[in-house]
Amino acid sequence: MERGFKLSHGGRKRLIGRWNALLTSLEINPGEHFYMLDDLLTRHTEPQRYYHNLAHLDTLLGLLPAKPHLEFAVWFHDAVYDPTRPDNEAQSALLAEQSLLRLGVEPQLIEAVVAIILATQNHQTHDPDTALFLDADLSILGADRKTYQAYARAIRQEYAWVPQTLFLERRAAVLQKFLARARIYQTQAFARLEQPARENLRQELKQIASAQLLGKNPALPE
């Protein structure tokens, strides 16, 4: 099996720089809170992460404006990621709240970060900045075909513990839910990905339907 999405060359150094710059912008000494960065880096290199890893953080930070609530949301939204549990978003939001309290950031900022993370449960919101975050988080759906297929394989690997038949059923339900929306992307900044995303989702659904008939798994390489 392929290991999944990889952090680009110099990516780890870039991520550390972004974290340090974020804290410095809030007049927080990064050196006094290195343990928090170290914990986040460790979490995002856990062995079950084939897509929701450091490369995902790097991608999101590159897509979003450098606003503290968006950046903290990037770092914490998948900080707790156990595919066998249904409460990852809630636990990640709680970790973010506790961590930001230790950093001493303003309550309003903490509330904004927590709200963004909780919104990733259903990927819908009426808040403009949260919508931008959610669209960036879903940008992989509108990626080129090869990248999207790699993403689909990575998700299957993250859920390798789920029996094939059940995984295909649940995956199809998720894809159909996105396709049923009037719009997958809520902001103009990501509107260009709408049609590519729908095509990718439809193609994966076709592969799933074929696999269900043949008893094969389309999300893993032959």
The pLDDT, as a whole number, for residue 216 is: 59
The pLDDT, as a whole number, for residue 3 is: 47
The pLDDT, as a whole number, for residue 8 is: 81
Residue with tokens 């230790």: 102
3-class state of residue 165 by DSSP: helix
Question: What mean pLDDT comes out for the span 149-171?
Answer: 96
**Is residue 168 located within the same domain as residue 205?**
yes
The pLDDT, as a whole number, for residue 217 is: 55
Chain segment 92-124, per-residue pLDDT in tens: 999 999 999 999 999 999 999 999 999 999 999
**Is residue 124 located within the same domain as residue 162?**
no
| 72, part of any domain | yes
The pLDDT, as a whole number, for residue 155 is: 97
**Is residue 95 located within the same domain as residue 166?**
no
Q: Please, is 71 exposed, middle or buried when counting C-beta atoms within 10 Å of its C-beta (0-12, 13-18, 19+)?
A: buried
Provide the terminal-to-terminal Cα distance of the chain, rounded to the nearest Å: 10
The Cα 197–Cα 187 span in angstroms is 14
Backbone angles phi, psi at 220, to 5 degrees: -115, 145
Domain stops at, among 90, 105, 137? 137
The pLDDT, as a whole number, for residue 9 is: 81
**Is residue 65 located within the same domain as residue 150?**
no
pTM (2 d.p.): 0.93
The pLDDT, as a whole number, for residue 30 is: 97
**Is residue 22 located within the same domain as residue 88?**
yes
Q: Rounded to the nearest 10 degrees, how much is the dihedral formed by the CA atoms of 77, 78, 81, 83? A: 90
Q: For residue 111, give the nearest of 79, 68, 156, 171 by alpha carbon.
A: 68
The pLDDT, as a whole number, for residue 1 is: 33
Number of domains the chain is built from = 2
**Is residue 121 located within the same domain as residue 167?**
no
Q: What is the DSSP code (8-state) at residue 181?
A: S
Is residue 18 a contact partner of residue 40, using CB atoms and an 8 Å limit?
Answer: no
**Is residue 32 located within the same domain as residue 114?**
yes
Domain stops at, among 137, 152, 187? 137
Q: What percent of the chain has pLDDT over 70?
A: 95
Domain stops at, among 98, 115, 137? 137
Q: For residue 87, give the nearest of 119, 113, 121 by alpha carbon.
A: 121
| 1, part of any domain | no
**Is residue 75 located within the same domain as residue 15?**
yes
| 220, part of any domain | no
The per-residue pLDDT of the chain, averaged, comes to: 94
Domain that holds residue 173: 143-214
3-class state of residue 40 by DSSP: helix
Chain segment 19-65, per-residue pLDDT in tens: 999 999 999 999 999 999 999 999 999 999 999 999 999 999 999 99
Q: What percent of the chain has pLDDT over 90?
A: 90
| 222, part of any domain | no
| 3, part of any domain | no
**Is residue 117 located within the same domain as residue 23?**
yes
Q: Tell me, rounded to whole angstroms, the distance of Cα 177 from its chain centroid.
A: 18
